A and B are shown apart, each in its own frame.
Chain A
Amino acid sequence: MQALTNRVKVVERKPMSFLERMYLPAIFKGMMITFSHIFKKKPTINYPEIQRPFSPVFRGLQVLNRDEEGRENCTACGLCAVACPAEAITMEAAERQPGEEHLYREEKYAAKYEINMLRCIFCGLCEEACPKDAIYLSETFTPADYQRKQFIYAKNDLLIPHPVNEPEAYKKALGNKSNKEKVS
């Protein structure tokens, strides 16, 4: 029969020699291979102590943004909820009362803003849909929890710390969001 390719390897099926039948040289060879692995570099990263840097396009937990005076950016327009393919976002709008100007940037704000983290697929469409730069995806994971209802994040869980009152926490929460904008 003509060979179809020239890559055929003929397997030799001759009986084993005495040395091969003793198996001990082969076992010793195998043991040398396993021994050599002692000196190999381990690919594992010691997670809690050493954390790999996130990719600049990483999409983690959502954060509701404030402006530099600490006023909430969100105007409860609902574009994020419309954009959300998993329908994870619900909100209720309210009108800003006189005297609340230091809390909300514009005359309408979100009285209730909830994201169900069990539904969220972290696609980042809410961030893209937002006209007010009020929501963005940070570089943190959603922490594990024991109950389902704990995964419905209310506005207090999502809001970024106040930049004037708690500047350090604000900086930490901001992460390298500024870098992210440069990349995109």
Chain B
Amino acid sequence: MMLAIDLAMVIEKLVLIVVVVSASLVIAMYTTFAERKVAAILQDRRGPNRAGPFGLLQPLADGLKLFFKEEIIPNFSSKFLFILGPALAMLTAVMTSAVIPWGDKISFFGRDVSLQIADINIGVLYVFGVVSLGVYGIMIGSWASNNKFSLMGGLRAASQIISYELAMGISLIALLMVTGTLSLKEMVVQQQQGGWGGFLGWNILKQPLGFLIFLICAFAECNRTPFDLPEAENELIGGYHTEYSSMKLGFYLFAEYINMFISSVIMATLFFGGYDMPFVDEAGLSPNIAALIGVAALMGKVIFFIFLFMWVRWTIPRFRYDQLMHLGWRILIPLALFNMLVTGAVILYFNK
């Protein structure tokens, strides 16, 4: 009997994993398309519109092109690490999606299926751990390609991500003091409780400064403009992926877009109520429909954040390296510490 239940559980989780991973891959694929389209529209151009209706098949064509390109492994590279780099970047990018609550429970053939792969009680820490591993993909790949420019890109990526992770962590500590939990699922449940249809419970209202710091650090973690120094193409050729070609290059670019997607999801979950759609819980819909609306709400928030990523990219020029370090160490970290202390003081004052 126990075995049967476990088997059902395993199947349920496997299906969920397949769905989540393939969904994030497809979304990342179409994010590349959206990036080009958004860039074009913001610059009064049309963007890709040849492949399929409205150019919707463009990402498939791009992927096909990358697969058919010649795979070059430089002679003087360290071959194992050269292959390990993009693999690691891709792996860590996809792994983060495991702890994200994509929606509420839905009942399916009399079973309550939670739309989360693993509800672990240290969800946020897990995300942080995996995201910090992500920089190894870039570092290993850049070092293994035995190229000065790659190495410089890798060094920049490493120091940038480490610098901004500090401020990100501290800004998150303030949030954790408010929520009192590390589980992402519980955070969403807490945010659903607030007044005005759940809207007033969103953490953005409690931690606006924390969110701002988190947002800036998320841009830096994803190597997005204005923090895209690791691949600054006019200084470093291509940065860490200079020597890469074919699908290994594709993996690096793809990992960046998956990271973007995942950090959008995390920002939505931590600060914008995750799958909470105001006034839906109160409307008394059947749980399945409410859960689906929740998933749609989360996706809506994610799409907004992805658009924000692109919007900023096509507005702001790149930082100079010393400006980047100045912002990280001398502005964001003191600001995050200040935010943490004020949050702590306020919580103590109200004796929460």
Residue ranges of A at the interface with B (Cβ–Cβ < 8 Å): 27, 30-31, 33-35, 37-38, 40-44, 46
Contact = CB atoms under 8 A, between A and B. Distances in A.
Contacts of A37: 41-44
Contact of A43 (B41, B42, B44): B44
Given A30-B315, A37-B44, A38-B41, 12 more contacts: A27-B312, A33-B315, A34-B311, A34-B315, A35-B42, A35-B311, A37-B42, A40-B44, A42-B46, A43-B44, A44-B45, A46-B49
Contacts of A38: 41-42
B316 interface: yes
21 contacts: A27-B312, A27-B316, A30-B316, A31-B311, A31-B312, A31-B315, A34-B42, A34-B311, A34-B314, A35-B42, A37-B41, A37-B42, A37-B43, A37-B44, A38-B41, A38-B42, A41-B44, A42-B44, A43-B44, A44-B45, A46-B49
Q: How large is the interface on B (under 10, 10 to 19, 20 to 34, 35 or more residues)?
A: 10 to 19
A151 B201 CA distance: 72
A29 to B, nearest CB: 10
A27 B315 contact: yes
Given A31-B311, A34-B311, A35-B311, A46 B316 contact: no
Interface of B: 41-46, 49, 311-312, 314-316
Contacts of B312: 27, 31
A31 B42 CA distance: 10
Nearest to A43: B44
Nearest to A44: B46
A62 to B, nearest CB: 32
A46 B316 CA distance: 29
A150 B315 CA distance: 47
Contacts of A46: 46, 49
A30 B43 CA distance: 13
A26 B104 CA distance: 40
**Interface core residue of A27, A34, A43 (most chain B CB under 10 Å):** A34
B45 A42 contact: yes
B35 to A, nearest CB: 14
Nearest to A39: B41
Contacts of B311: 31, 34-35
**Interface core residue of B44, B312, B314 (most chain A CB under 10 Å):** B44
Contacts of A27: 312, 315-316
Nearest to A30: B315
A106 B4 CA distance: 98
A27 B308 CA distance: 12
B318 to A, nearest CB: 13
Contacts of B42: 34-35, 37-38
A12 to B, nearest CB: 23
B165 to A, nearest CB: 22
A52 B350 CA distance: 71
Contacts of A30: 315-316
Contacts of A33: 315
A132 to B, nearest CB: 45
B217 to A, nearest CB: 15
Q: Which 3 pairs, one residue from A and one from B, show the smallest C-beta to C-beta distance? A: A34-B315, A34-B42, A30-B315
A143 B327 CA distance: 55
A107 B314 CA distance: 69
Contacts of A34: 42, 311, 314-315
Contacts of B46: 42, 44, 46
A79 B46 CA distance: 48
A40 to B, nearest CB: 5
A34 B315 CA distance: 6
Nearest to A33: B315
A3 B204 CA distance: 55
